[in-house]
Chains A and B, each alone.
Chain A
């Protein structure tokens, strides 16, 4: 069987949307924790979450407060801006339908059930009391799709297109979260070794499900530079930028082997990977963390567009 360009594109987007919905749910979870533990700081946190999701302007239009119920409902279930968790899960399922013949029944059913769950739980405005259950259900269902993918899919081009979508989106998400919070890490340039506001760094780590792993590796008081190093350059952490880009490079390498054809995407991925592998956290801070993250995000987007062209997703 050959893979249609449309199918490869559908897989890529299906997994981008799934990753995106899961990431947003994680951000909401971190925000929720702040609003429970430090009511006063919550407004600022919700604002930065909305910014991270790229929905600043859309939210301003609603005229809503930066308070938990409005923001949470906006991010979870609002259909007007098309980027809510619910919309993205539905988009993932729509793409899943398009590529139905390329995925196993188990992957399809897990995706479909995820959508059935989301539609049911998000049918009406969410009450604060129900939020933990809903966020847990989203996390669980995302894990089920991933599990079905790992456990049942052939390791061929189809799998690699799906994984490329996942890691592309994940790298972008980690970079965005860091970029929105980069100013928190900045004082460290002047005072290497200074301590951060504990709650702030905890939130950054929580929103990337990194708190446990980071503490495991850094038992003492957290230093900003260690956090940045961990989230950008630690190849052991599955949401770090370097981990994601290595994976993409690897997925593209398998495509090259399977198809017997080296394309521009492979070269581009190599370039992005080289830049990161040769970087040290000190040099990144010297050149400017924000600039580094921006450059990375642009490179990541260009890579996505190149993959789309090389593998004829649309024409």
Chain B
């Protein structure tokens, strides 16, 4: 079987021969009865539904919780590919944390003329409150999800750095559990690196950044917007797996200079809060006064060393899409090295020349909102109709600074299982990175998102994307 020649297929080469990392898997696959595999795929869905791994789609409030479709063909990455990728990811993540420290302190990068001042001062993700403050352990972004795409044998690009509250790690873990329970024989035949210790590492990593006022074993809590949030399953899952409390804003209160949770026996201090809540909602006294999700006064306690908030408020400026185009410079500036991971060429529409180019070539580009996420508010030029292009051009002219544009990348494909057999679909990869004061850890693999629709390049679950188990082979 050969994929579409214009895209790099990770499983098969141009001649239809399985590539090296997929060889053992393909041998196994060839021995399977297609009907049985399809039955397994249906079973997997039941399994997910039973477990309750569901998400809610924004804007569809009455809709029942949905499942993210799961494809049973794994995405396989060789040990050497992974070694290279993880070096690049680590470099990028270290640079991001150094950048965050710098812009909230001396802003050397601005002084050196490598980043325009207005990129910082006029950025809505920049928090004045954080100026001059260093978070416990010096870590800003504790949990980062770097979105990677591949376009050829050696061409990997970092597409986005999710430095605020990256989600999806529960799918990475549950996908693996599901694969192991459905195909145990694969895991004894093929040596695959484990992902299951992520919650333990997360716990260790967060505990290592405990605040000054913590005495004894740090008490951890996951702060969720509540059980109606689209990612609630993941919040509960992580709290459960790492032995943290799962709290909402109204469970917390400031008591004796600490953030404390209401237990059956009164208020007890919390040391580290892994918040799955945007900055805006964190503290109604500092940010949005109408927020009922946060904790009034938490920022004061944070500044006084009474609690650790992960990720640190204000981290969002690092994954801002306008800052993205400066990341190669950011890596060079703080690491003194050439970036190991490529950045996608990016036109900043705030610059008149770029805007002109983008408008002229709109049908070939992907245009994204600077502060958008989840695939909302973006234009995929080649897939858009004339009318959609015209409408988007008007929006662009009105607020150019709100957009960036990138070439449409020829995302690699990995086959999915369909009723007619294997069929190539476009994928990306989100590895999950943990940063603590003394180390950077990357879970081997990550979450592979796959566009289930033939030819589609949009992998977001909110837009019809699915997921795959992602294997990193041992040497």
Contacts and interface: CB of A to CB of B under 8 A. Distances in A.
Interface string A135-154: 00000000000000000000
A259 B250 CA distance: 23
Contacts of B268: 2
Nearest to B237: A100
Interface stretch (B240-248, B282-290, B399-407, B411-419): B240-248
B251 A5 contact: yes
B188 interface: no
A206 interface: no
B67 to A, nearest CB: 12
B262 A315 contact: yes
A4 B245 contact: yes
B50 interface: yes
Given A2-B245, A5-B251, A94-B227, A312 B52 contact: no
Interface in B226-264: 227, 232, 236-237, 239-240, 243, 245-248, 250-251, 261-264
Contacts of B236: 97, 100-101
Contacts of A113: 50
Contact of B240 (A3, A5, A100, A157): A100
Contact of B262 (A4, A98, A109): A4
A182 interface: no
A240 interface: no
Interface string A80-121: 000000000000001001101100010011001100100000
B49 interface: yes
A94 B248 CA distance: 15
Given A97-B227, A112-B50, A312 B264 contact: yes
B265 A259 contact: yes
Contact of A5 (B227, B239, B264): B264
A2 B217 CA distance: 14
A299 B294 CA distance: 37
A-side interface mostly = helix
Given A97-B236, A98-B227, A101-B236, A5 B51 contact: no
Contacts of B49: 116
Contacts of A190: none
A68 to B, nearest CB: 29
Given A4-B247, A108-B52, A113-B50, A101 B239 contact: yes
Interface string B434-475: 000000000000000000000000000000000000000000
B266 interface: yes
A101 B240 contact: yes
Contact of B251 (A4, A101, A161): A4
A101 B264 contact: no
Contact of B263 (A4, A94, A105): A4
A5 B262 CA distance: 6
A263 to B, nearest CB: 10
A35 to B, nearest CB: 33
Contacts of B227: 94, 97-98
* Most chain B beta-carbon contacts within 10 A, residue among A1, A2, A101, A161: A101
A49 to B, nearest CB: 30
B261 A4 contact: yes
A97 B246 CA distance: 11
A130 interface: no
A61 interface: no
Interface string B198-213: 0000000000000000
A261 interface: yes
A108 B263 CA distance: 22
A209 to B, nearest CB: 28
A259 B236 CA distance: 25
Contacts of B51: 105, 109, 112
A282 to B, nearest CB: 41
Contacts of A259: 264-265
Contacts of B245: 1-2, 4, 101
Nearest to B268: A2
A101 B246 contact: yes
Given A1-B245, A98-B227, A312-B262, A6 B52 contact: no
A8 interface: yes
A101 B52 CA distance: 13
A232 B52 CA distance: 40
A311 interface: yes
Contacts of B232: 97
A311 B264 contact: yes
A128 B266 CA distance: 51
* Most chain A beta-carbon contacts within 10 A, residue among B236, B243, B250: B236
Contacts of A157: 264
A261 B246 CA distance: 25
Nearest to A98: B227
Nearest to A161: B264
Contacts of A315: 262
A2 B265 contact: yes
27 contacts: A2-B245, A2-B261, A3-B263, A3-B264, A4-B245, A4-B251, A4-B262, A4-B264, A5-B262, A5-B264, A94-B227, A97-B232, A98-B227, A100-B237, A100-B246, A101-B236, A101-B240, A101-B245, A108-B52, A109-B52, A112-B50, A116-B50, A157-B264, A161-B264, A259-B265, A312-B263, A312-B264
Given A2-B261, A2-B264, A2-B268, 14 more contacts: A1-B245, A2-B265, A5-B262, A5-B264, A8-B264, A97-B52, A97-B227, A97-B232, A100-B236, A101-B246, A112-B51, A112-B52, A116-B49, A312-B263
Interface of A: 1-6, 8, 94, 97-98, 100-101, 105, 108-109, 112-113, 116, 157, 161, 259, 261, 311-312, 315
Interface of B: 49-52, 227, 232, 236-237, 239-240, 243, 245-248, 250-251, 261-266, 268
The 9 closest A-B pairs by CB, nearest first: A100-B236, A101-B240, A311-B264, A2-B263, A5-B262, A112-B52, A97-B227, A101-B246, A8-B264
